[in-house]
Structure 1
Amino acid sequence: MHRFFCKEIGEPGNSVELDTRDQRHLFKTLRARPGDEVELANGRGTVAIARIDGNNALLIKNREDFPPPAVKIHLFVSPPRRQKMDQLLRQCAETGVWKLVPILTARSVSQPEDSVLERWDAVLLEACKQAKNPYHPEVQPLQPFAKAVASCKNMDIYFGAPQGTWPPRRMPEAKPLSDIAWFVGPEGGFSPDEESALIAAGAQALRIGPWVMRVETAAICGAALLLCCIQKQKETE
């Protein structure tokens, strides 16, 4: 069943409207007909099934509200160049990253302008549709490294580094409404001063594999492994 983004999803029996582009795709490209059903998602946890009536209106048949994850992964990453960044965005949606914050570090090779945020958001939206992820990850404008670290005062902080350990010496907490910050530097890694700043903020260095990883690989592998740690903790409680 095809999934479409719909900003506002009402109660069963109410009608909803897609934007012009999706409306055209549904009726012109997919050739949908009265009686067909489609899946709708608002990116904030609500998913619904809608049926097309005789006037080509979409009527909500049923809806389900998914609770947000108890533990949210905030990915702070020095963004790779365009094609690799698009890959990273898609994998964030597939993995379940809650928020993505591009950071400017001493060795960053890419400094995207705020104008790219709309395109990044569109990539995330399409990836959420394919992954059936009911929550659309938030993507923020580029932040200086120091500002990003300062924003993590109430989070468990981890960062990727060759001298790090695995598994974590201090496991991420599985308590409800907790947040994890996962920092990934550029291809050259964080500078010594940046690593010192992270450690001073209470961060733990992690080595998530035996070999050197690209930024987009390390970002997603680390996020997935931290989520697995949380799941294991839940299972043992």
Structure 2
Amino acid sequence: MNPVINVEGVVTRFGERTIHDGINLHIDENEIYAILGESGSGKSVLMKEMIMLLEPTAGEVTVLGKILSEINFDDAQALRSDWGVLFQFGALYSSLTIAENIEVQLKEYTKISQSMRNKLVRSKLALVGLEAHVGALYPSQLSGGMVKRAALARALAMEPKLLFLDEPTSGLDPIGARNFDALIVELRDLLGITVVMITHDLESIFSIVDRLAVLADKQVVAEGSLENVLQSQHPFVEEFFKNEYTKERFKDKVKDV
């Protein structure tokens, strides 16, 4: 089976500063894949390279069979409609209602009527657990958890094959975070999408992630299932996963490490 995303030998430099020095990883269809790493390891940079907001200095990123460094304008536009992105703080347009936020891509990439757009907006709101009346509200009128769900509804507007999430549970209370995790799993199973998420949330990592990559020292220092990653002896992996709090909180999963 070919991966839906393949990153091969990616080098990223900003001036004299090297962020990535030979990143290799692959993401398979229909999995929830996490990217984590130490501060400054380039997690968000890597995600931006996957969604064509940045271009790596060297190496190749292939998404849904398209090599991004070789893609033409029309194919790039088509590919963008195959993914949805939830940025860390939602990134909703503050001057637009929630319904108008969800409609942005529908207006840009489709020719469907206003009445059909209204139906799609309501369906996307329902999909993420928001009532129809929320569509008439502005982002400033929503709680943090509702903003995340509204931004997720927007990310799902075009029925994407890929869903990118940047720290999806940050800023949420523990109950809200776990409810959001459950929503991600439900959407993956219902829609058959592939989810790529940047996260440091241990609860998410231990409960919903299928595979993950750990970035440190400008490279991927561990990749695979949680069981595989926990075998790594890299200092960052040791510090992140094998401290006393983590061992106690998740003792059923790290007891043999």
TM range (shorter): under 0.3
Which of structures 1 and 2 has the bigger CA Rg?
1
Give 1 or 2: higher helix fraction. 2
Question: Relative contact order (alpha carbons < 8 A, sep ≥ 6): 1 or 2 greater?
Answer: 2
Relative to the length of structure 2, the TM-score reads 0.22
